[in-house]
Amino acid sequence: MNLSTEELDLIETFGGLNYPPEKIVMILDVDQEQFFLDFNLPDSDPDYKSGHIRYHYDRGQVMAQAEIDKANLRRAKEGNLTSIAQYKKDIIYRDVQNAKRKTIYQQEKTYLEDLKILIEQGNSANLTSIQIDFIEQIDYVRSLHLRWNSKPFIINAVRLKWPKLARNQVVKLYNDAINFFYLDNEIKVEAWRNIYAEKLDCLAALAIEISDIEQARRCLVEAAEIRGVNKDVPQQIPEHFLNRQKVFYTMDVEKLGLPKINRYELAAFIDKLDLTSVEKLKLKRDSMIENSPLEILLEDEKN
């Protein structure tokens, strides 16, 4: 939406007064739908700059807050206890905000580097313009998701940035982005576990930045529980147990490629051996030459 300098100045003025956007639309008397589309642009978007509605609205709030802070600082220097307390509170709040931005920036930098490595070390020459656009889109969705934005907000922001995409395409893009960074296939419980555990990691890092060690510890413990770190690992069967070779037994020597033995000749050979009659009988039984009842042999062995 193209607005004049005077209209942008009005947006800054009423933004500083914390007027809701629908009231500003009434004051400017402009198209409401287009105004809201531009107003909901995230601050991470490259178009978030001078001349854009949301930029000037936020700038008005910053400028108004700066005037309030200067007045509060002046009173604090004069010894006003309430202003001193408020000044210290503001310092803590800004430290938390800076720590949060630092944490988010580190994560964004890591993911961006991963994507760059994917393209640079892979065969980027074979990537089509559609594939490159897709990588840019899912990274944009991830950056919004990383800033704790809701799914409806992300979908509207993507439709604003790529107006040619239909709503069902954007919803699929959202699912693809979550799956790309957390899990393939449809969004599953395992993916959400990783998402929430990662958010707890961010909270832990934020707590460490503001020296809240106990809160950081709790966040890390909960993240570990979500990831199942404390669960007992199921006992694994050694691989060599599963790959043992099968053993087959046979009484048919011909199946082993050996010639079949004449059992009459074998019996005659056993009879010539210098053995007792019991030992010869055992050999013949083992060679399946004679059927000798087991109880008779046992009885003979007793004697």
Average pLDDT over residues 191-215: 82
- The CA-atom distances, in angstroms, between 264 and each of 74, 181, 208, 251 are 123, 78, 92, 17
- The CA-atom distances, in angstroms, between 196 and each of 32, 233, 239 are 36, 22, 35
State how far the Cα of 45 lies from the Cα of 267, in Å rounded to an integer: 98
Q: Is the pLDDT of residue 185 over 60?
A: no
End-to-end CA distance of the chain: 115
State how far the Cα of 62 lies from the Cα of 64, in Å rounded to an integer: 5
Q: Is the pLDDT of residue 296 over 60?
A: no
pLDDT digits (tens, 9 = 90+) for 52-93: 888 999 999 999 989 998 998 899 888 888 888 887 888 777
**Single-letter code of the amino acid located at 134:** F
Which range is least confidently modeled, 180-194, 221-235, 250-264, 284-298? 284-298
- The CA-atom distances, in angstroms, between 98 and each of 59, 140, 257, 263 are 18, 22, 82, 96
Instruction: Give the pLDDT of residue 274.
Output: 86
State how far the Cα of 138 lies from the Cα of 115, in Å rounded to an integer: 11
Between residues 109 and 216, the one the model is more confident about:
216
Instruction: Give the pLDDT of residue 118.
Output: 55
Q: What angle do CA 183, 188, 191 make, to 5 degrees?
A: 45
What is the pLDDT confidence band of residue 117, given thresholds at 50, 70 and 90?
low
Q: Is the pLDDT of residue 41 over 80?
A: no
Task: Say which DSSP state 165 is in.
Answer: S
CB proximity list for 175: less than 8 A, separation 6 or greater: 186, 187
Instruction: Give the pLDDT of residue 119.
Output: 52
The three-class DSSP label of residue 180 is helix
Q: Is the pLDDT of residue 13 over 90?
A: yes
Instruction: Return the residue matching tokens 């961006």.
Output: 112
Q: Which helix (H) or strand (E) holds 181?
A: helix 167-182
3-state secondary structure 77-143: HCCCHHHHHHHHHHHHHHHHHHHHHHHHHHHHHHHHHHHHHHHHHCCHHHCCHHHHHHHHHHHHHHH
pLDDT digits (tens, 9 = 90+) for 236-279: 777 766 777 777 777 777 777 777 777 778 888 888 888 888 88
Which range is least confidently modeled, 52-61, 99-108, 136-145, 219-228? 99-108
Q: Is the pLDDT of residue 206 over 60?
A: yes
Instruction: Give the pLDDT of residue 295.
Output: 47
**Single-letter code of the amino acid located at 160:** L
Between residues 38 and 185, the one the model is more confident about:
38
